[in-house]
């Protein structure tokens, strides 16, 4: 859809903003410089916008100012280039927000201890933005959340200062955006879900189509103008709620299918069938089947968390979300299954889990990245420790496990050598990093419990391997 094919004619405020966005003369602010915000801020700078990244962590700000990166798949060179060209700056001074034309919010949306949505980061950020909100500014939320957050939660906070952005329906017909009884907004508000996939070398940030939904037509068009200047493709939807739901559908789809294959794995184990061979056979069908793989549980910020945002919101409508809840139960139970399998494998060798030395191989939530958010390895390590096991870990991407929101192991990654493998009663493969020599792991370990089928191509000493 091209900017300028809307009906009726754009108001003065949005027309001016779209002109600046298309000309790259607008200033862009990104709040939250984590796995979503930092790539977006650098993309904005490379796209020609004067870009400011905002974060409350002074350590991140100092590293970025020095041209350093704290995220493995983002090179220091990519940061240095934008800093030296003066297209990107990082700050913890949120008063500068008033100078921005567009402000994108990329802050965490975790679950609380009762597994209910914790919107505190989003709402606190909205309060800060509200304090500095200027007429004609565009605010976009990218943090994954339940449908209605943008217009029900953010909008009232942003309007407290007197500026208004009335919610108004609009329709889309091909490239034509039609507003219905829209009053020209003082500022603009939209939702555009992040679609980052850390470590994915096939799709870079700008190549992933950007979904955009506004609380009114002007907001939708302004947000589309922003993202069309950064991304190869944008996809406009008819409301912020539709955009919010689209992101949840993406993650629920994956959660349910992973739960299905995890459940089938447990059944196949009882039936003496190799689930991995089953999947390889099924995926030869050229239509109607997408391969999902079992594992030790779900990790990352999206799949283990986002579905529960919709489950929580669905209660307001007295609607049970059985698939989501059942998938959550199945996936949440997988770390317990893994620990039980370790205990059983040790038991077959005359050892108990208590006081056994277990080396966890890989603590990132997926291979070849440094991201440990919601990693199943963390729960597995906690459960092993509760049972009295002596736990160490090796991960080439995660040198240290410091204090986190739910865990505080105080451990450092140990070297993967014949000596360290000999010193442990069990090597537990939780993350299948490509750089690991799995032949060495099997050769030198007395027992290997493999949750990822990482040892499938190891030919020797297969009697040591327990797949679970």
> What are the residue ranges spanned by the domains of the chain?
6-244, 306-467
* Per-residue tens of pLDDT for the chain, all 468 residues: 344 444 445 678 899 999 999 999 999 999 999 999 999 999 999 999 999 999 999 999 999 999 999 998 899 999 999 999 999 999 999 999 999 999 999 999 999 988 899 999 999 999 999 999 999 999 999 999 999 999 999 999 999 999 999 999 999 988 789 888 788 999 999 999 999 887 777 888 889 999 999 999 999 999 999 999 999 999 999 999 999 999 999 999 999 999 999 999 999 999 999 999 999 999 999 999 999 999 999 998 888 999 999 999 999 999 999 999 999 999 999 999 999 999 999 999 999 999 999 999 999 999 999 999 999 999 999 999 999 999 999 999 999 998 888 899 999 999 999 999 999 999 999 999 999 999 999 999 999 999 999 999 999 999 999 999
Which CATH superfamily includes the segment(s) 6-244?
NAD(P)-binding Rossmann-like Domain (3.40.50.720)
- Whether this model's pTM surpasses 0.85: yes
- Give the count of alpha carbons within 13 A of 194, CB side only: 27
The active-site residue, picked from 18, 106, 165, 302, is: 302
The answer to whether 6-244 and 306-467 have equal CATH topology is yes
Q: What is the 3-state secondary structure (H, E, C) of 124-177?
A: HHHHHHHHHCCCCCEEEECCCCCCCHHHHHHHHHHHHHCCCCCCCCEEEECCEE
**In whole angstroms, how large is the CA radius of gyration of the chain?**
24
Q: Exposure of 93 by Cβ count < 10 A (0-12 exposed, 13-18 middle, 19+ buried)?
A: exposed
Answer whether 129's CB lies under 8 Å from 158's CB: yes
Place of tokens 């990093």: 433
Judged by DSSP in three states, 467 sits in strand
CATH class of 306-467: alpha beta
Task: Reply yes or no on whether 426 is catalytic.
Answer: no
Pairing of strands 448-450, 465-467: parallel
């Amino acid at each position: 859809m091209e900017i300028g094919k809307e009906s009726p004619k754009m108001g003065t405020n949005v027309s001016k903003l779209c002109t600046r966005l298309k000309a790259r003369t607008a200033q862009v602010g990104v709040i939250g410089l984590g796995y979503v915000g930092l790539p977006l801020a650098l993309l904005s700078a490379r796209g020609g916008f004067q870009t400011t990244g905002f974060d409350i962590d002074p350590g991140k700000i100092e590293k970025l100012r020095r041209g350093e990166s704290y995220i493995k798949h983002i090179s220091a060179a990519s940061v240095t280039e934008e800093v030296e060209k003066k297209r990107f700056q990082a700050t913890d001074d949120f008063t500068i927000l008033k100078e921005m034309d567009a402000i994108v919010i990329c802050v965490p949306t975790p679950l609380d201890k009762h597994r209910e949505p914790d919107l505190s980061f989003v709402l606190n950020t909205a309060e800060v933005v509200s304090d500095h909100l200027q007429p004609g500014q565009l605010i976009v939320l990218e943090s994954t959340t339940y449908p209605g957050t943008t217009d029900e939660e953010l909008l009232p906070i942003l309007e407290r200062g007197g500026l208004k952005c009335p919610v108004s329906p609009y329709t889309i017909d091909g490239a034509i955006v039609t507003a219905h009884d829209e009053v020209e907004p003082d500022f603009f508000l939209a939702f555009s879900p992040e679609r980052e996939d850390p470590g994915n070398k096939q799709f870079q940030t700008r190549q992933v189509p950007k979904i955009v939904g506004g609380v009114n037509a002007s907001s939708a068009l302004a947000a589309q103008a922003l993202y069309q200047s950064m991304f190869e493709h944008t996809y406009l939807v008819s409301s912020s709620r539709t955009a919010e739901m689209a992101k949840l559908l993406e993650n629920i789809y994956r959660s349910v299918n992973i739960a299905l294959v995890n459940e089938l794995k447990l059944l196949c184990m009882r039936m003496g069938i190799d689930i991995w061979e089953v999947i390889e056979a099924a995926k030869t069908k050229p239509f109607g089947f997408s391969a999902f793989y079992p594992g030790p549980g779900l990790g990352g910020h999206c799949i283990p968390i986002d579905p529960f945002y919709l489950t929580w919101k669905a209660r307001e409508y007295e609607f049970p979300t059985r698939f989501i809840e059942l998938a959550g139960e199945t996936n949440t139970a997988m770390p317990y299954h893994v620990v039980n399998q370790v205990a059983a494998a040790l038991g077959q060798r005359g050892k108990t889990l208590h006081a056994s030395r277990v080396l966890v191989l890989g603590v990132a939530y997926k291979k070849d990245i440094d991201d440990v958010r919601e990693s199943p390895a963390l729960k597995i390590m906690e459960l092993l420790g509760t049972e009295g096991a002596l736990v160490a870990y090796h991960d080439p991407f995660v040198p240290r496990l410091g204090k986190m929101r739910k865990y505080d192991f105080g451990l450092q990654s140990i070297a993967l050598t014949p000596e360290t493998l000999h010193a442990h009663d069990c090597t537990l493969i939780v993350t299948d990093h490509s750089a690991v020599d799995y032949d060495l792991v099997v050769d030198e370990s007395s027992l290997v419990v493999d949750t990822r089928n990482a040892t499938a191509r190891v030919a020797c000493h297969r009697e040591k391997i327990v797949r679970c």
